[in-house]
Chains A and B, each alone.
Chain A
Amino acid sequence: MTDAIILLVEDNASDEELTLRALKRANVRNPVVVVRDGAAALDYVFRRGAYADRAPGEEIQVVLLDLNLPKLSGHDVLRAVRADERTHLLPVVILTSSNEDRDLAEGYAGGCNSYVVKPVDFTQFAEAVRQLGLYWLVLNQRPRSP
């Protein structure tokens, strides 16, 4: 289970650092891979480009996906992940500042597993990250990969 990777797709360095800190304080020991844009996220997910050599044992447990990203938006990443047979069941949690109705609608229509709005209050943010880690890394049962 220690190889179950959390893929954090986040272009904001502060949010990245604070998310990592919150995961650490929540005792999440899983390795966290951070990518800064949508294109890199897909490269990592599909083992191509800079991530062509990702080891077969390094499986993604959950993707924490920001929406407002350079190159490809979070919505685009989600669509690409869902469209591919290899990854269409991969848990994807949208973690974003946007609480706009249309983002929520598009996110759920695109097949996200959860949609979490990052609160400005960091105490709440940390709590949200802690619960996410607990749920997706500990409680949630996934079907075995084929």
Chain B
Amino acid sequence: MANGRDHQPTTLDDLRVTVAADATAFLEAAPDAMVIVRRDGRILFANGQAERLFGYPRDELIGQLVDVLVPARYRGAHPGHRAGFFDTPRARPMGAGVELYAVRKDGTEFPAEISLGPVATAHGSVVSAAIRDVTERNRVAQARAELAAIVDSSDDAIIAETLDGMVRSWNRGAERIFGYTAAEMIGRPVAALLPPGRVGEGPTIIAQLLRGDRVAPFESVRRRKDGQDIDVSVTISLIRDVHGQIVGASKVARDISDRKRAERALAAAKEATDVANRELEAFSYSVAHDLRAPLRGIDGFSLALLEDCHDALDATGQRYLRRVRELTQHMAQLIESLLSLARITRGELRHERVDLGAAARATVERLRTIQPDRQVEVGIADDLIAWGDGRLLGVALDNLLGNAWKFTRDHAAPRIELGAGAFDGARTYFVRDNGAGFDMAHAAKLFGVFQRLHSPDQFEGTGIGLATVQRIIRRHGGRIWADGAVGAGATFYFTVPTQGPPP
């Protein structure tokens, strides 16, 4: 065979002789490491694979006890096992389920599969042993077992299917989510999970994937074994074999019923809120329209009376009518304030950089224009930047500064200050005045609707301003509180976000 004369016709007998003569060459060519061992454990033969596997030169192996190839911890028992085998020899093939360890010359161990073949010779029985290093095979098996464990421990259903839609694998998550066992589903069409009306969904997506389109995870509905439909999020991808050939598809399905239920509950709650807001809006609208109309009538006829029937009224009668008109105007202001309070509660909150200092300067400018005879010293700190709804924060400052302006009216040297500082670690803005102040015993009432700490004779007002301010600050997630004393001024503190979300 190896002598280059293969082309010459040979008889079967010739070939037999050749094979017998070259037996050693066959052992040499075997894919596994091979040693032949005598009854006393001496190695009679070792092939080149054995040299390489164990790291011994062949002449060191020949004549050596085979026990040196067994790790030291098993070595003591080995002669006994060996003797037992020679007493009742029977062939033990590879893969007989026995995993052993072998040791190299350098002392390193490796898992080995060993097959034994007893051979009777004219000079007594010998055993041929083939040794295979199974380190790599074990590693692959371990990795596969780990992957299988991961797949099996997943809460998601992980399913493999053939291109024609037959289930090939079915993990425990799939059993739990869909109610079918692996035994019930493997080999069956995966379409069993599709509710009527969605039957085309799977094939359509697989067709898309085969065309090379990207398919994002999508939400759908699947039917459980018990007939109940559940919301799922599905990811489908193709499975290729080692040659890159597409052989099927994997589906990962997540049970999102809880999330969907929560979403539906949230949507229902939002709808209820929207309905309530629309009702509030309708209410505000009718307040605006229906309450103003009679007031206009009262005012209009009072004026008509004053003008048309002037001579029939004495001074007292005329004064009464003027009071009627004043009170009408006051009520109109109350309605207007209530409406603006309602407007602040609804509507989208904007998020923008707000220069409170600039807004305050504009407010003070307006106050000075309206009452040019007032001499008020106003101090506004630098760098009062907040983050929120500029219009609403402007309304809040209008109210706070307007109050400070109003309540310093009787002071000889009125002063208003807008500043900021850190209170309890949070940046806090404040509006301080040296005006009439208030009794801290009534501080809780300051922010209530229609709550006033002064009579209209002392200071005019609707009792809605601070309620409005509080609502604006709260809508910004901030806090407002006040500090003051009768005759010693008041300070209103508030917090609002100082910066927007990080970009």
* A residues apposed to B, CB below 8 Å: 12, 14-15, 18, 21, 68, 96-100, 118-123, 125-126
Contacts and interface: CB of A to CB of B under 8 A. Distances in A.
Contacts of B294: 14
B107 interface: no
The 10 closest A-B pairs by CB, nearest first: A14-B297, A120-B332, A122-B300, A18-B300, A122-B299, A97-B292, A122-B303, A97-B289, A120-B295, A120-B296
A102 to B, nearest CB: 9
Secondary structure dominating the interface of B? helix
B96 interface: no
Nearest to B299: A122
Contacts of A125: 296, 300
Contacts of A15: 293, 296-297
Contacts of A97: 288-289, 292-293, 296
B296 A18 contact: yes
Most chain B CB atoms below 10 A, which of A68, A97, A118, A119: A97
A14 B288 contact: no
B237 interface: no
A17 to B, nearest CB: 8
Contacts of B302: 122
B289 A120 contact: no
Given A14-B293, A98-B288, A125-B296, A120 B329 contact: yes
Contacts of A68: 289
A34 to B, nearest CB: 16
A127 to B, nearest CB: 12
B304 interface: yes
B303 to A, nearest CB: 5
Given A120-B299, A121-B299, A21 B292 contact: no
A96 B285 CA distance: 12
B328 A120 contact: yes
22 contacts: A12-B297, A14-B297, A14-B300, A15-B293, A15-B296, A18-B300, A21-B300, A97-B288, A97-B292, A98-B285, A98-B288, A98-B289, A99-B288, A100-B285, A118-B292, A119-B296, A120-B292, A120-B296, A120-B299, A122-B299, A123-B303, A126-B303
Contacts, number: 56
B296 A122 contact: yes
A96 B328 CA distance: 18
Contact of B293 (A12, A99, A100, A121): A12
B292 A121 contact: no
Interface string B271-285: 000000000000001
Given A97-B289, A97-B292, A98-B289, A121 B332 contact: yes
Contacts of B299: 120-122
A68 B288 CA distance: 11
Contacts of B292: 97, 118, 120
A92 B377 CA distance: 49
Nearest to B291: A97
Interface string B327-354: 0110010000000000000000000000
A18 B304 contact: yes
A123 B288 CA distance: 19
A12 B288 CA distance: 15
Contacts of A123: 303
Contacts of A96: 289
A12 B291 CA distance: 12
Contacts of A118: 292, 296
Given A14-B296, A18-B296, A121-B329, 12 more contacts: A14-B293, A15-B297, A68-B289, A96-B289, A97-B296, A98-B288, A98-B289, A99-B288, A119-B296, A120-B292, A120-B296, A125-B300
B26 interface: no
Nearest to B295: A120
B459 interface: no
A18 B288 contact: no
Most chain A CB atoms below 10 A, which of B300, B301, B302, B329: B300
A21 to B, nearest CB: 6
A119 B325 CA distance: 13
A21 B296 contact: no
B381 to A, nearest CB: 34
A18 B302 CA distance: 11
A54 to B, nearest CB: 29
Contacts of B304: 18, 21, 122
A98 B296 CA distance: 13
